[in-house]
Every structure is written in structure tokens, then in C-alpha cells.
């Protein structure tokens, strides 16, 4: 491909910023980043914004390469045939290649009353909406956190550390990702903070009102503020644009992250579903997928064959207030093992990890191509080989 190449990145989160920065490796590539917010959101710190210990934002000037043009607007439709992205402001942005990195947000809760009376916190605006509500709520009032994944555990601990009365409703197991040893570490810390943890099938929420939460076991809990952290969803931009998606709305791609519909559209982050085997929604996944999406585009510009993704994992860091955390280690294929760290050392590791993510983006802005990831995922290759074998057997 000769001449200048226009690349539009839709979404300015961890994956989108990483991709945009990496694309500036070539001088003949013009990069436009479309994002609805004028500042970068540290999504992994939103529970701290809710607790009032961090604003969870940094200026794009700190993490975005100077050559990347930031357009503060919302993409409402992708016209793949004409290679244009239509914006909420009314105008289109043309592209030669598009990187789809719209991320994820709160799933629409199907529980009666949850949409009206519970507060989700998976986006900046949701967390900002909740913050003044908590400020106006008496310190002795009962708070309920629904969902015992990383966000739920971190939010419950953050609020309990302030002396709040918090109940954490698991709807199943506490921290289902965790190894039993790591789970016990988290449970011990939550108990020390005074969090009431309700596990098992009877802790599933069946309805929410302004002042109560009703459980499947028949109990009704008083709740001055109910915080909803159960489940993630993705924006429907791809589906609205006529692109192929999986059942949750993620853009379907091959192993190079290229859309199954159009080789000029490449996905990254939470909104990607490579080979219908999507990876864990996380910051840990977003950065290497963002880098790989950029590498795929750069390979196509150079007339080369893009490589397949190879993203492995180290585990999960869970902040449990400002003075403790649990670091759960895992195999490269994302299966938690018996090894973990807890307490103050884990808290320092968690804080380092949060800061280092921003540093990695800033480093990629200054030196595009510098980001590397060293974890390989052997299990993914085996799963893909098995699927190919099943497909051949059925023909």
C-alpha cells in the first residue's frame, strides 16, 4: 500500500489508546481516535472514584502520542462499504482501516427494579453519578453491593474501610475466578473490614426497590444504596452497523483480530470475539489486544500477513481497601492456582500495577512498538485445533 493511510480508532480506553499509539510507528499513517470523553478513564480505579480516594482520570496528553488526533465525539454507525464512521455530531470520518475498541459497560439487569433503583459503576458517568449519592447517605446506613467479581469485592472493601456498613451479595461463590486459598484470603480481609458476605444460591437478587433488596432465599434486606456490579455488556455499535457479532454483541473476528466481514476492520479489547473464543474482559487483556490490532493493521499496510494473537495471563489483582489486596496467580491460560499474596505487600503490587498501566501507555506514545507481552496461552491453541478437528469431522 502506497501513500498516506488513514486509520480511525473507535474507543479511547486501554486497548484503543495502545493501538492508536502503536500505529504511529509509521510516518505515512494518520491516526484519529474517536472517544466520547476528553480525558482518559482509568477504569480499574472506578471503585476508588466511588470511594472518593481517586478521580480515575488522566489527561490524554499524558498517554496519547502527539501525532494522534483526538476527536471528542460518539460513533453512532460504521459504514463499512463507504469506509466511514458517522458521529453523533452529524459528520462522518473516513478511514482506510478501522480499529474497533469500544470496550464494555454494565449489562442491562433483568432483575425487577435493578435498572431503576440500583447504581452500576462500570463507566465513568455511572461512578460519578453514585459518588454524590453516597456523600448524602448517612455513614450508618446499610449499603449493598451486588456481584462478587473483582469490581464488587473492591467496591465493598473500599466503602467498608471508610466505616460504612456493607453487605456483599455473591449470588454464588465469592470471587468465582479465585482459587480456594485466594478466596479465603479475600474473605478474611472483608470480614476484618466488617463486610457481611452472603454466598450461595440463596444470595441471588430477585428484586430491588428504593430501600430494599429481595433475595432468592426469601429474605429481604434493607439497603439505603444498592450498587450493581453483576455482569458486563458491550455497546451495540457493531450490530447496529450490520457487522457480525457474537451473542453478547462483541465483534466476531479471526485470530488476527480482523472482522470476519471486512479485512479493513480490526477489533481490540473487551469488544472483540476472536474465533468465537473471546478472552477475559480485563485491562490485562486490553493492552496486548490493542497492540496486536495495531500490528495487524501495520502488517496489512506493509503487504505482509498478520500474525495470530497469543495472549496469556498471570492472574488477578484485587484491591481490598487502601491498605490490603490479594494477588491471585494463575497459569498462562488463565486458570487460578494455589499461589497468592495478601496484605500490604499485595496492596503495593496492586497500586504498582495500576500506575504501570498508565506508564505503559505513555511509554508507547513516546516510543511506539515498545510494549511487549511475554505470556503465551497454550490452551487457546489446543481449543482452536480441537474446533478445527470437529469442523472437519462434520463435513
pLDDT score for 108: 78
Looking up cell 485491562 gives 283
Q: How far apart are CA 131 and CA 156, in angstroms?
A: 14
Q: Which residue has the cell 496528553?
A: 61
DSSP SS3 for 157: helix
CB 103 within 8 A of CB 271: yes
The string of pLDDT tens digits covering residues 176-218 is 999 999 999 999 999 999 999 999 999 999 999 999 999 998 9
pLDDT confidence of residue 278: 86
Alpha carbon distance 361, 239 (integer Å): 29
* Radius of gyration for the alpha carbons in the chain, expressed in angstroms and rounded: 21
Low-confidence ranges of the chain (pLDDT < 70): 1-2, 374-395
**346 touches 317 (CB < 8 A):** yes
For residues 355 and 341, is the Cβ–Cβ distance under 8 A? no
Residues 6 or more apart whose Cβ sits within 8 Å of residue 79: 85, 86, 92, 241
pLDDT score for 2: 64
CA distance 35 to 18: 14
The DSSP code for 258 is: B
pTM for the whole structure: 0.93
**Within the chain, what is the greatest distance between any pair of CA atoms?**
67
Angle at 124 between CA 35 and CA 321, to 5 degrees: 140
CA distance 313 to 335: 9
Query: Which conformational region is residue 190 in: left (phi greater than 0), alpha (psi within -120 to 50 degrees), or beta?
Result: alpha
What pLDDT, on a 0 to 100 scale, did the predictor assign at position 373? 82
Q: pLDDT tens digits for 19-48?
A: 999 999 999 999 999 999 999 999 999 999
What whole-number distance in Å separates Cα of residue 53 and Cα of residue 175?
23
Q: What is the pLDDT of residue 254?
A: 97
- Calpha distance 53→226 (Å, rounded): 20
> What pLDDT score does 392 carry?
47
Residue-by-residue DSSP string for 221-232: EE-SEEEE---E
85, β-bridge pairs: 78, 93
Amino acid at each position: 500500500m502506497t501513500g498516506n493511510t488513514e486509520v480511525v480508532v473507535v474507543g479511547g480506553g486501554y486497548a484503543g489508546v495502545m493501538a492508536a499509539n502503536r500505529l504511529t510507528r509509521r510516518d505515512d499513517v494518520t491516526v484519529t481516535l474517536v472517544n466520547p470523553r476528553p480525558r482518559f478513564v482509568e477504569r480499574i480505579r472506578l471503585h476508588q472514584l466511588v470511594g472518593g480516594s481517586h478521580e480515575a482520570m488522566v489527561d490524554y496528553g499524558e498517554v496519547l502520542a502527539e501525532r494522534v488526533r483526538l476527536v471528542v465525539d460518539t460513533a453512532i454507525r460504521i459504514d463499512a462499504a463507504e469506509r466511514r464512521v458517522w458521529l453523533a455530531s452529524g459528520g462522518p470520518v473516513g478511514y482506510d482501516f478501522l480499529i474497533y475498541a469500544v470496550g464494555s459497560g454494565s449489562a442491562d439487569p433483568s432483575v425487577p427494579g435493578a435498572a431503576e433503583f440500583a447504581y452500576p459503576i462500570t463507566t465513568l458517568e455511572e461512578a460519578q453519578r453514585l459518588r454524590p449519592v453516597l456523600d448524602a447517605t448517612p455513614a450508618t446506613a446499610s449499603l449493598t453491593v451486588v456481584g462478587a467479581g473483582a469490581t464488587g469485592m473492591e467496591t465493598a472493601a473500599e466503602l467498608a474501610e471508610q466505616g460504612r456498613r456493607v453487605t456483599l451479595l455473591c449470588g454464588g461463590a465469592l470471587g468465582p475466578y479465585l482459587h480456594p486459598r485466594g478466596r479465603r484470603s479475600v474473605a478474611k480481609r472483608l470480614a476484618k473490614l466488617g463486610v457481611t458476605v452472603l454466598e450461595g444460591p440463596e444470595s441471588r437478587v430477585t428484586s430491588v426497590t428504593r430501600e430494599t433488596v429481595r433475595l432468592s432465599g426469601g429474605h429481604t434486606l434493607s439497603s439505603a444504596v444498592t450498587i450493581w456490579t453483576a455482569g458486563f455488556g458491550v455497546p451495540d455499535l457493531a450490530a447496529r452497523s450490520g457487522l457480525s457479532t457474537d451473542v453478547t454483541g462483541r465483534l466476531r473476528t479471526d485470530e488476527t483480530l480482523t472482522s470476519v466481514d471486512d479485512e479493513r476492520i480490526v477489533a481490540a479489547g473487551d469488544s472483540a470475539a476472536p474465533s468465537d473464543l473471546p478472552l477475559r474482559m480485563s485491562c490485562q487483556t486490553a493492552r496486548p489486544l490493542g497492540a496486536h490490532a495495531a500490528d495487524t493493521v501495520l502488517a496489512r499496510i506493509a503487504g505482509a500477513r498478520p500474525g495470530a494473537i497469543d495472549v496469556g495471563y498471570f492472574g488477578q489483582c484485587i484491591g481490598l481497601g487502601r491498605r490490603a489486596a490479594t494477588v491471585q496467580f494463575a497459569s498462562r491460560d488463565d486458570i487460578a492456582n494455589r499461589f497468592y499474596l495478601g496484605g500490604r505487600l499485595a496492596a503495593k503490587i496492586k497500586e504498582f500495577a495500576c500506575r504501570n498501566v498508565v506508564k505503559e501507555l505513555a511509554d508507547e506514545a513516546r516510543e511506539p512498538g515498545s510494549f511487549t507481552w511475554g505470556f503465551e496461552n497454550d490452551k487457546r491453541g489446543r481449543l482452536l485445533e480441537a474446533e478445527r478437528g470437529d469442523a472437519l469431522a462434520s463435513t
